[in-house]
Amino acid sequence: MNAPLRLNASALAAQDGDTAPLRGEWTCLECGAPYEAAARHSGFCSTACRQAWNNRCLQGGAEVYDLFMALRFQRPHARALKLLSALNRLALLYREEDRRERAGRPSWRAPEAVLAARPFLRAVRLSARRP
């Protein structure tokens, strides 16, 4: 059974552009150590932690990207290859790695932070209706 995700308040606030103060004590997203933030949204206690986080995201993203794009735009092919199951297995492997190597800290940002950084993702496309 999966344990619930636990993000401490400072980690969540560090990712929240609307409520995070300019300075404060935060928890590093990568190593979990407390640190004094010099600037809003730093998220990390050191350059090494930021690079480790970004490298893991790049590697995971590269694995997920091709499968997700095929799932979205080549549906019959994706269905035949059971790509959704493959993506779910990848997510499970990433989560197991978080538990094993990151003391359970999640290896992904809060979705609210991702959406806040990309407001166009919430935009509604308006198109002319056909008569």
Binding site for Zn ion (CB under 5 A): 28, 30-31, 45, 49
Distance from C-alpha of 22 to C-alpha of 37, rounded to nearest angstrom: 8
Nearer to Zn ion, 45 or 71 (CB): 45
Question: Which is nearer to Zn ion, 45 or 113 (by Cβ)?
Answer: 45
Pick from 116, 121, 120, 119: nearest CA to 16: 116
Q: Residue 41 CB, nearest distance to Zn ion (Å)?
A: 15
Beta carbon of residue 45, minimum distance to Zn ion (angstroms, whole number): 4
User: Do 113 and 15 meet the contact criterion of CB atoms below 8 Å apart?
Assistant: yes
> Is 37 or 71 the residue whose CB approaches Zn ion more closely?
37
User: Closest approach of Cβ 52 to Zn ion, in Å?
Assistant: 8
Which class for 72: exposed (0-12), middle (13-18), buried (19 or more C-beta within 10 A)?
exposed
